[in-house]
Amino acid sequence: MGTAILGTGAYLPERVMTNQDLEKIIDTSDEWIQTRTGIRTRCIGGKGEETYLLAARAAVSALEMAGVSAVDIDLIVVATISSHMLMPSCACFVQKEIGASKAFAYDINAACSGFVYALDLADKYIQADPGKKILVIGAEALSSRTNWEDRNTCIIFGDGAGAVVLGAVEGDRGVIGARLFSDGNLWSLLHMHTAPSCNPELLQSASPGVHIVMEGREVFKYAVKAMEEAILALLEQEQVALDAVSLVVPHQANVRILNKLVERLGIGAEKVFINVQKYGNTSAASIPIALDEANRASRIQAGDIVLLCSFGGGFTWGAALIRW
């Protein structure tokens, strides 16, 4: 018995922001952004595209593909760092929005690794109780958590959501395994504060605002090394050869990180799915958006082994293997 992906879905906001649009608000250029990141455009949410609504639309699309009704979902897990409210969770809003009346729902925060963490969690629920049907969603409106005056960060991130429906199936289809890692010692290299505390004793000395802060160069170095290590540890754990992997669907951080990873692992670039040029870095949403795009473009066939890998704030990183 395996935990299979029964359907995938994604939703991207309608408004597309180009590098030329960014040239008008900060001191940057299309050439600089493309050379350093590979990003050309990103989607930016507008009215009616709050994080939970992006998530709900991605979920409905995944449910349709799976042929599963929302009322048959037992659990909704949303990986996000940019919910429109701190409480209730984004997952509770999704539950309400799609009418998943019997599901319990909660969010997890593992930054850009959130989807891989949530997938592993859902796999373990289903292994313990094969009757369960679970929606795992990655959803972000990072445009609401970006300092639009900071050219180091605002060029990188975008909004969107991706979702998968998981359920038990007979045979060897499904999640093969995962390896997850964290290192809180490195938190300051990539972080985001909350709003200032209401308790004066707990006030930060100078609240920098609720937006992403990043040491780009350091993050770059760690990201490549960490994803490579997670992938090699997972392949070793599951006794799967890298050659047996049909498609790598990585967290879409930026093209240079992904090219470096490809070079270090020695895999063919054609085996790596990249769409960061269109959507930028959508944090927890990037892997399920890419997975849905690859799936709908028939880049993944039944029986293929798909490798996911991620890196994000925390630091958090990990990898997962799925037999499709």
Query: Residues in the site for ligand COA, rule: CB under 6 A?
Result: 28, 32-33, 36-37, 112, 151-152, 155-156, 214, 216-217, 219-220, 223, 253-254, 256-257, 281, 311-312
* Comparison of 214 and 308: residue with beta carbon closer to ligand COA: 214
Supply the minimum distance, in Å, between the C-beta of residue 92 and ligand COA.
Answer: 26
Greatest alpha-carbon pair distance for the chain in Å reads: 57
**Could you tell me whether strands 247-250 and 212-214 are parallel, antiparallel, or unpaired per DSSP bridges?**
unpaired
* Comparison of 119 and 156: residue with beta carbon closer to ligand COA: 156
- Three-class HEC string of the chain: CEEEEEEEEEECCCEEEEHHHHHCCCCCCHHHHHHHHCCCEEEECCCCCCHHHHHHHHHHHHHHHHCCCHHHCCEEEEECCCCCCCCCCHHHHHHHHHCCCCCEEEEECCHHHHHHHHHHHHHHHHHHCCCCCEEEEEEEEHHHHCCCCCCCCCCCECEEEEEEEEEEECCCCEEEEEEEEECHHHHHHEEECCCCCCCHHHCCCCCCCCCEEECHHHHHHHHHHHHHHHHHHHHHHHCCCHHHCCEEEECCCCHHHHHHHHHHHCCCHHHECCCHHHHCECHHHHHHHHHHHHHHCCCCCCCCEEEEEEEECCCEEEEEEEEC
Supply the minimum distance, in Å, between the C-beta of residue 312 and ligand COA.
Answer: 5
* Comparison of 37 and 61: residue with beta carbon closer to ligand COA: 37
d(CA 63, CA 76): 12
Residue 16 β-bridge partners = 43
Supply the minimum distance, in Å, between the C-beta of residue 318 and ligand COA.
Answer: 12
Supply the minimum distance, in Å, between the C-beta of residue 221 and ligand COA.
Answer: 9
Supply the minimum distance, in Å, between the C-beta of residue 219 and ligand COA.
Answer: 4
Cβ atoms of residues 30 and 23 within 8 Å: yes
Copy the structure tokens of residue 78.
């949303």
Q: Which residues are annotated as catalytic?
A: 112, 251, 281
* Comparison of 66 and 223: residue with beta carbon closer to ligand COA: 223
* Comparison of 51 and 281: residue with beta carbon closer to ligand COA: 281
* Comparison of 180 and 214: residue with beta carbon closer to ligand COA: 214
Looking at beta carbons, which residue is closest to ligand COA? 216
* Comparison of 127 and 152: residue with beta carbon closer to ligand COA: 152
Name the one residue in this structure whose structure tokens are 């037992």.
Answer: 74
**Could you tell me whether strands 247-250 and 305-312 are parallel, antiparallel, or unpaired per DSSP bridges?**
parallel
